[in-house]
Chain A
C-alpha cells in the first residue's frame, strides 16, 4: 500500500463531500434544492455518467506494490493501482508499434519470417490483438460475437441489479413487479426510468468493452505499442484530479478573503481588493506558465527530494493543481465579497449583533451558510473548464508530467500522428470521446445545479 499526495487529498475530499451530504440530509431547507436537482432528468443522467467516471478515477487512486511474479518483466517495484490490477490484460499486452483499432496486424510493413523460413515484406500479426484468430477472415464475426456476449453480460448484471437494489431498499421482494411498473412507465417523481436506462447503457458498454479488450485493442495502440484504450482510461484520474483538487486549493482562499473583505470592509477590504485585482490582471496562462517554469527549475535542482519517477509526476500534478488554484480564486472571491456585503446588512445579522453575538460566530453561523449556493455553483461550473484547461496546458508543455497519462498528452502526441500518411487518428479519437463525454456530463450537471440553487432562476 502506498499513498501518493494526490491520492490522499482526493479521498480527503470524498470524505468531506460525504460528511456534507450527511449534514444536508438532516435539514429540510437544505434538501429542497437538491431535490430539484434530483427531479431534473438531464441532470440525473449526467450525474450517473459522472459517477461512473469518478468510480474509475477513485479506483485508480488506490496504489500498492504488486507481488513480484516470476518471469514477468512488468511487475517491478512500480506501484500500480486497483484499477491497473483490474485491467491488467490491456495494461501489459503491448505490441511493437502502431496498430489500428480492432486490427490483428501492425500498421506498418516489416520483414516477416514465415513458418517455412521464407522472408516476406508484409504486415506482421500482432502479439495480442486478434492473436486467437486462426482464420483472419472471420475477424468481423468474432468481434460481433464478443460484443454480443458482453452485451448479454451487461444486460444480465442490470436485470439482477434492479431486484437487488429494490430488496436492499424495501427489505423484501414482495410486490417487486407491481412497484416497478410506474418506473418503466416513467410516472415517478424522480426520473428513475432515465437513471435505470443510463445504467443499462453503461453496463452494456462496460461489459462489451471488457470482453473485446481481452482480445483486441479497441482504440488501437500507440507508437510504442501501448493500448490507447488503457491510456484514455488512465487519463480519467488526471482529469478528475485537476478538476477537483484545484477546488480544494481555491476554496479556502476565496472563502476567507471574500468573507473578510465583505464583512470587515475598511482597510482589510482595500487590501484584499488590491490583491485580487493585481492577481487577476496577470493573464492566466502566462502566470501558470511562469509558475510551472519556476517549478521545473526547482525540481531540476532538488532531484533528491523526488525519489521515483511516479512520485515526481505526482508532485507535478499536485503543483499544477496548486498553481491553478492560486490563479483562479479571484473570480469566486469577488462574488463572495459582494454577497457578504449584502448579507451583513440583513436584519438577522443586525439582530445577532444587537444581542451581542461574537463576530466570529456571526461569520460562521449566519454568513457562511448563506454563501453556500454561490460556492457550489461556481465549483461545478469550474470543473469542466479545468478539465479542458488541462489539455491546453499539456499541449503548451506546462501541464502534467509527460509520463503521466492525460488527454492533453495524448492530443499532444496525436498532433504529429495526424501529419503521417496514412493518418494515425485513433489516439485523438479516444481522447476526444472520453474528454467530450466527461465535460459534457459535467456541463449538463452544472446547469441543473445552477438552475436549482440560483435564487434568480428559482422562479421559473
Chain B
C-alpha cells in the first residue's frame, strides 16, 4: 500500500512537469512577453520604454530557457521558465500582473468556494440518489418513463438559465434571499442558500440519470436474484443490497472531485459575486491577468491528479476485492 502510494506520488512529477510545460508554451512561447505587454498597455502609441518597463516590473524581461549573460547555475536560474514555472512546484505562485500576492489571495478565497461547493455536493448527492432509487423502484412503469424524460429535459437546459431563473424567481420576485453578495461567518448562510439550491437543481438531470444506470446495472446481478429468492421484499433488496453495492462507483466518482471543490464554480460564483476562487479566475480572465490564470491552471491540475490518487486509495477501502499492487 505505502509502496503503491509512493510510486503514484512519483508518477505525479512527470505529469505536473507536462502540465507546466504546456502552460509555459501557451503563455510564453506562442506569444512573447512583448505581445502581452502591448495587449495590456494598448495596441497603438506604446513606446519601447513603456513595454520594457512593464516587462521588468513583472520579471518578464529575462530569456525564456537559457540565459547566456549569467555564469554557472544562474544560466538556468535567471530565466522566465525557472522563475515563473518551476516555482509553481513549490506552490510559489509569485505576484499577479497588478502586483498582488497570488498565494495569499488563493488562501483567502478558497474558503467561500468551499462553503458553496461542499453543501451543493452533499445535498446534490442525497437528492440524486433518492431520485434515481425512486426511478429504479418504479422501473418499467409510466412513472419511471416520465422521470427519465424529466431528467433529459433538465439536462437540456443550460446552467446559465438555472442561475438566471433562480435569481429572478427566488431573489427578485419572492425576495426570500438576497440576489447576490457574501458575508463573513454565519451571516454568510443567507447568501449561500440560493447558490446551493441552484447547484443542486441544475445537477439533478445528469446526476440522477447516471446513478439510475448504475443501479440498473447492479440490479441484474446474481446476488440480487438470490436476495429476492430468499423472499426479501423489493424495498429491502433495493435500499440495502443494491444501494450498498452501487455506492462503490458513486463514492469513487465523488472522491475525484473532492480536491477540486476548492477551485469553486466559475459561473455560480461570478453570478452571485461570491469572493471565491471561481470568481477570482473569471476576473483574471477578463482582466487578462496571465499570472493568475497560469497559477490556477497549475493548481487545478495538481488537485485533479491528487483526486485521482485518492480515488484509487478509496477503492481499496470500500471494496475489499480490490488490492493495489
Establish whether residues B15 and A286, one from each chain, have CB atoms under 8 Å apart when the complex forms: no
Q: Which residues of B from 278 to 312 have beta carbons under 8 Å from A? A: 281-282, 285-286, 288, 290, 293-294, 296-297, 300-301, 304-305, 308
Q: Which of A164-172, A277-285, A306-314 contacts B (4 or more CB under 8 A)?
A: A277-285
Q: Is A414 a contact partner of B297 (Cβ separation < 8 A)?
A: no
Chain B residues with CB below 8 A from A439, complex form: 156-158
Could you say which residues of chain B place their CB within 8 Å of the CB of A411? 158, 160-161, 164
How close is B199's CB to chain A, nearest CB, in angstroms? 14
Flag if A392 contacts B158 (CB, 8 Å): yes
B288 contact set on A, CB distance < 8 A: 293, 296
State which of A282, A293, A296, A396 has its C-beta within 8 Å of the C-beta of B22. A282
Q: Are B38 and A293 in contact (CB-based, < 8 A)?
A: no
Cβ-based interface call for A367 (8 A): no
B152 partner residues in chain A, CB cutoff 8 A: 440, 443-444, 447
B258 to chain A, nearest CB (A): 14
Which residues of chain B have C-beta atoms less than 8 A from A283's C-beta? Answer: 260, 263, 297, 300-301, 304
How distant is the Cα of A97 from the Cα of B38 in the complex, in angstroms? 36
Stretch among B2-10, B24-32, B57-65, B229-237 lining the A interface:
B24-32
CB of B301 within 8 A of CB of A294, answer no
**With known contacts A440-B156, A447-B152, A301–B266 Cβ distance under 8 A:** no
Q: Is A290 an interface residue (CB 8 A)?
A: yes
State whether the Cβ of A291 lies closer than 8 Å to any Cβ in chain B: yes
- Set of chain B residues within 8 Å of A418, measured between Cβ atoms: 164, 167-168
The contact of B156 among A291, A391, A396, A443, by CB within 8 Å, is A443
Q: Is the CB of A297 within 8 A of B31?
A: yes
**From B156, B164, B304, B308, contact of A384 by CB (8 A):** B156
Inter-chain contact B22/A279, CB cutoff 8 Å: yes
How many residue pairs bridge A and B at CB < 8 Å? 122
Tell whether B267 is near chain A: CB-to-CB under 8 Å. Answer: yes
A210 within 8 A of B: no
**Interface residues in A, total, Cβ within 8 A:** 45
B35, B38, B167 interface centre (most CB from chain A within 10 Å): B35
Q: Once bound together, how far apart are the Cα atoms of A274 and B286, in whole Å?
A: 32
Assess whether B285 is in contact with A392, with CB atoms less than 8 Å apart.
no
Cα distance, A290 to B156, chains bound together (Å): 27
B35 with A301: CB separation less than 8 A: yes
Identify the closest chain A residue to B296 (Cβ).
A286
A293–B35 CB distance below 8 A: no
**CB neighbors of B among A415-460 (8 A):** 415, 418, 423, 428, 432, 435-436, 439-440, 443-444, 447
B contact patch SS: helix
- Is there a chain A Cβ closer than 8 Å to B314's Cβ? no
List chain A residues, Cβ under 8 A from B14.
Answer: 274
A1 at the interface (CB under 8 A from B): no
B9-49 residues at the A interface, CB under 8 angstroms: 14-15, 18-19, 22-23, 26-27, 30-31, 35-36, 38-39, 43
Q: Digitize A388-429: 1 where CB-to-B-CB distance is under 8 Å, 0 elsewhere.
A: 100110011110000000010001001100100001000010
B155 CB–A CB distance under 8 Å: yes
A435 to B157 alpha-carbon distance, docked (Å):
8
Interface assignment of A300: CB less than 8 Å from any CB of chain B: yes
- From 253 to 293 in chain A, residues with beta carbon under 8 angstroms from any chain B beta carbon are 274-275, 277-279, 281-283, 285-287, 289-291, 293
B153-182 vs A, Cβ < 8 Å mask (1 yes, 0 no): 101111111001001100000000000000
Jot down 29 A-B pairs with beta carbons below 8 A, ordered by A.
A277-B15, A278-B15, A281-B15, A281-B301, A281-B305, A282-B22, A282-B300, A283-B300, A286-B281, A287-B297, A290-B23, A290-B27, A290-B294, A291-B26, A293-B288, A294-B27, A294-B31, A297-B36, A297-B39, A298-B31, A300-B38, A300-B39, A301-B39, A391-B158, A392-B267, A396-B282, A432-B157, A440-B153, A447-B152
Query: Which A residues are closer than 8 A to B by beta carbons?
Result: 274-275, 277-279, 281-283, 285-287, 289-291, 293-294, 296-298, 300-301, 303, 384, 388, 391-392, 395-398, 407, 411, 414-415, 418, 423, 428, 432, 435-436, 439-440, 443-444, 447
Which B positions have Cβ atoms within 8 angstroms of A?
Answer: 14-15, 18-19, 22-23, 26-27, 30-31, 35-36, 38-39, 43, 152-153, 155-161, 164, 167-168, 260, 263, 266-267, 270, 281-282, 285-286, 288, 290, 293-294, 296-297, 300-301, 304-305, 308
Given contacts A414-B164, A423-B168, A428-B164, 16 further A-B contacts (CB under 8 A): A274-B15, A277-B15, A282-B300, A285-B266, A290-B23, A293-B293, A294-B30, A384-B156, A391-B158, A397-B286, A415-B164, A432-B161, A435-B158, A440-B153, A443-B155, A444-B152
